[in-house]
C-alpha cells in the first residue's frame, strides 16, 4: 500500500490538504474500520490509506467517478484522454459542448464511465474547480481557458488499486455511518458553517443547513456513546462551539490560509479540529 502514489483526482472546495499534518498528529493510534462520510476530493483518505475503509458523499457524480475509477480504470483513462485530445482545436467551444453533454446525461441519470470522464474533464477545465449547479441540478460553471491534461494516468491506476479495498457509497452522512462500531474511526469534514451568518440563507449554502449541523452533532454524540473514535473539522464559529462545546470533547483551534478571500487582511482564518478521545 505504501508504494502507491495516491492523491485527489479532482479539485474540490474545502479540500483538506492544508490541515493534513494537524489531522495526522491527532489520529487515534489504532482503530478498526475507517469511515469518511463527506469524502469530497479525498485528500484525507488518500493520505492515510487505511486498509479497511468506507467513503461516502451526497454528490452522485463524484461517487460515480470513484466507482468508475475503482472498477473501470482503463476505460475511464481512455475516455478522459479522448476528451483532452478532442478539445485541442477550439477549447472554449468544446468545453461548453461537453458541459451540455454532461448535463444531458445527468438528466437521464446515466451514471457510467463516460459521465465520470466528463465530470473529471469539466472539473479540470472549469473556473476554479468549482462544483456549482442551478435549481434544476445542472452544472453551470464557465470555462477556465486551460488546455492542460485532465489526469495523471499513473495516479489514476494507483487510486484504482487502492480503492479495490474501499467500500464506496452515495447518500446522506447519517446512513453512511450506521454500521460504525466500537473501535472504528470516523473523520467528518462536512460543508462549512458560515463565518458571518447574517441571514437564515447563509446556513443553507450547499444545502447543508443549521438542521444538518445539529443532526451531525447528534450523530457525533451517538457514535461517541458507541465507543467510536470521532474527529471533526469546521470553521471556528459560534454555532460549532455551541454544538460541540461543554461536552467531553477536545476542541483545538488551528490557523489556516484562506485563498478565496480577496481581502488580504482576512486571509488567515481559524478552523477547529474536534476529537472525542
Ligand X SMILES: C[S@@+](CC[C@H](N)C(=O)[O-])C[C@H]1O[C@@H](n2cnc3c(N)ncnc32)[C@H](O)[C@@H]1O
- Beta-strand ranges (E) seen in 105-144 are none
Tell me: does residue 40 bind ligand X (CB under 6 A).
Answer: yes
Residue 50 makes contact with ligand X by CB under 6 A: no
How does strand 53-57 pair with strand 34-36?
A: parallel
* CB contact at 8 A, 7 and 224: no
Which of residues 87 and 274 has its CB atom nearest to ligand X in the complex?
274
Residue indicated by cell numbers 458523499: 57
Given 6, 9, 12, 232, the residue binding ligand X (CB under 6 A):
12
**Backbone phi and psi for residue 44, each to the nearest 5 degrees, phi listed first:** -80, -50
Asked whether position 53 contacts ligand X by CB under 6 A, the answer is no
> What is d(CA 201, CA 194) in angstroms, rounded to the nearest whole number?
10
Closest Cα to residue 63, out of 86, 85, 36? 36
The yes or no reply on residue 146 touching ligand X (CB under 6 A) is no
Looking at the Cβ atoms of 66 and 208, the one nearer to ligand X is: 208
Q: Does 271 bind ligand X (CB under 6 A)?
A: no
Query: Which one among 70, 189, 272, 276 touches ligand X, defined by CB under 6 A?
Result: 189
Please, what is the minimum distance in Å from the beta carbon of residue 236 to ligand X?
15
Other C-beta atoms lying within 10 Å of the C-beta of residue 111: 19
Pick between residue 20 and residue 91 the one whose CB is nearest to ligand X.
Answer: 20
Residue linked to cell 498528529: 25
The number of angstroms, rounded, from the C-alpha of 5 to the middle of its chain's C-alpha atoms is 19
Q: Which of 4, 7, 15, 204 binds ligand X (CB under 6 A)?
A: 15
Q: For ligand X, give the closer residue by CB, 10 or 77.
A: 10
Strand partners, 150: none
| Interface with ligand X (CB under 6 A) | 12, 14-16, 37-38, 40-41, 43-44, 56-59, 172-173, 189-191, 206, 208, 212
Amino acid at each position: 500500500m505504501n508504494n502507491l502514489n495516491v492523491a485527489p483526482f479532482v479539485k474540490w472546495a474545502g479540500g483538506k490538504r492544508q490541515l493534513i499534518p494537524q489531522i495526522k498528529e491527532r489520529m487515534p493510534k489504532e482503530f478498526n474500520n475507517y469511515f469518511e462520510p463527506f469524502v469530497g476530493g479525498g485528500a484525507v483518505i488518500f493520505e492515510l490509506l487505511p486498509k479497511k475503509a468506507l467513503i461516502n458523499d451526497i454528490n452522485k457524480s463524484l461517487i460515480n467517478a470513484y466507482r468508475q475509477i475503482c472498477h473501470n480504470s482503463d476505460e475511464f483513462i481512455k475516455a478522459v484522454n479522448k476528451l483532452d485530445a478532442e478539445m485541442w482545436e477550439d477549447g472554449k467551444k468544446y468545453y461548453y459542448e461537453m458541459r451540455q453533454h454532461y448535463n444531458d446525461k445527468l438528466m437521464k441519470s446515466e451514471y457510467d464511465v463516460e459521465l465520470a470522464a466528463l465530470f473529471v474533464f469539466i472539473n479540470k477545465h472549469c473556473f476554479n474547480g468549482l462544483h456549482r449547479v442551478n435549481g434544476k441540478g445542472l452544472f453551470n460553471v464557465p470555462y477556465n481557458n486551460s488546455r492542460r491534461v485532465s489526469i495523471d494516468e499513473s495516479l489514476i491506476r494507483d487510486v484504482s488499486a487502492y480503492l479495490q479495498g474501499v467500500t464506496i457509497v452515495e447518500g446522506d452522512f447519517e446512513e453512511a455511518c450506521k454500521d460504525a462500531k466500537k473501535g472504528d474511526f470516523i473523520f467528518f469534514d462536512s460543508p462549512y458553517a458560515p463565518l458571518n451568518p447574517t441571514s437564515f440563507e447563509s446556513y443553507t449554502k450547499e444545502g447543508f443547513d443549521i438542521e444538518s449541523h445539529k443532526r451531525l452533532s447528534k450523530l457525533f454524540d451517538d457514535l461517541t456513546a458507541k465507543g467510536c473514535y470521532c474527529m471533526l473539522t469546521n470553521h471556528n464559529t459560534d454555532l460549532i462551539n455551541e454544538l460541540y462545546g461543554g461536552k467531553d470533547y477536545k476542541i483545538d483551534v488551528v490557523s489556516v490560509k484562506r485563498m478565496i478571500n480577496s481581502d488580504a487582511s482576512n486571509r488567515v482564518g481559524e478552523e477547529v479540529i474536534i476529537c472525542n478521545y
